[in-house]
Amino acid sequence: MAFASLCFAGATTVRSTGIFSSITLMCFAVFGDAHIFDLSNKDYFKRLIRKILKPYLPALLVVAPFLMFQYYCETVFCTRESKLANTARPWCSNSPPVSYGFVQKLYWNVGPFEYWTLAQLPNIALAMPILSSSLVGVVKFFSHMVSSSQVHNHGAEEKPLPPILFELYSVHLLTMALLLFTSHTQIALRVCLGDPVVWWNAVKLGFDNVEMDEARKGQVKINNFGRYWVGWTVVWGAIAAVLWAGHYPPA
C-alpha cells in the first residue's frame, strides 16, 4: 500500500484530481477483499471499526502534494506585508486560504455549470462519446453490483465482482462528474485516456460474450456500438493529433 500511495501522490502532483485516488486506498484498507455491499457478513461492522484509522496515513500521503502547493501559495501571496498594503490576493481572506478555486475561476472561468453555455456546445459534444459510454457503463455496473449482492444475501450462487471495482468505478464517477459540471468538459478526451474504467466500459458495451471463458474460445463478437467505438477512436486519434499540435480543443 505504501508504493501505491507514492504512485497516487505522484498523480496528484501532476493533476489535482489525483486526490480522488485516496478513496481507493481508504476503501481497500477498510474493507480489504470484502464486498462493500455484503451486509450479511457479520464481521462487516467489526472490520469497519477495527480498520477505520488504518487508511488515514496513505490517504494523507496522496493529498499531500495538493496541500503542500496550497501552503506554498499562501506563504508567497498572503504575506503580512501584502495584507497591510492591501495587495494580497482575494482568496487570502478565505478560511482556509485555498487558491485552487479562485485560480480556476479567474483564469479558466470554470465552476459549477459555468461551462454550460450555447457557445461551448461544440466542445461539450466532443466529449460525448466518453461521457455517454461512461454513464451507461457506470449505471450497468452499480445496478449489477446491487442486484448481485441481493442475490447473494438470499443464498443464490453468482460469481461476485472483484471488490476493487467498486472503488475504481467510484473514482471514475467522481472524475466524470467533475469534468461534466465544473470543468472544460472536452478535456475528458485526454484526462480519461489513462482511466481503465473507460476502456472496460467500451469493451463491455461494444462486444458480446466478453466473459473470460468465452473469450478464450474465440466467441467474442463486436456489436454496432463496438464498431462505432473503434471507428471513432481511429478517426478522433488522427484528428486530435493535429488539434493538439495547434493547441486547439481539447488541448
Query: Alpha-carbon distance 31 to 28, whole Å?
Result: 5
* Confidence (pTM): 0.77
**pLDDT at position 97 over 70:** yes
pLDDT digits (tens, 9 = 90+) for 25-53: 877 776 665 555 554 555 556 666 666 66
pLDDT band per the 50, 70, 90 thresholds, residue 228: very high
Strands 207-208 and 221-222: antiparallel
C-alpha angle with apex 51: 47 to 55, nearest 5 degrees?
140
The grid cell for 48 is 469497519
Confidence (pLDDT) at 37: 54
Query: Alpha-carbon distance 205 to 183, whole Å?
Result: 26
CA-nearest of 197, 155, 199, 184 to 251 is: 184
Query: Alpha-carbon distance 249 to 120, whole Å?
Result: 11
Q: How many angstroms from the chain centroid is the CA of residue 68?
A: 22
- Tell me which of 22 and 163 has the higher pLDDT: 22
Confidence (pLDDT) at 46: 63
pLDDT band per the 50, 70, 90 thresholds, residue 132: very high
Confidence (pLDDT) at 15: 86
Q: The cell 463478437 sits on which residue?
A: 221
Domain segments of the chain as ranges: 1-108, 112-250
Query: Alpha-carbon distance 26 to 167, whole Å?
Result: 9
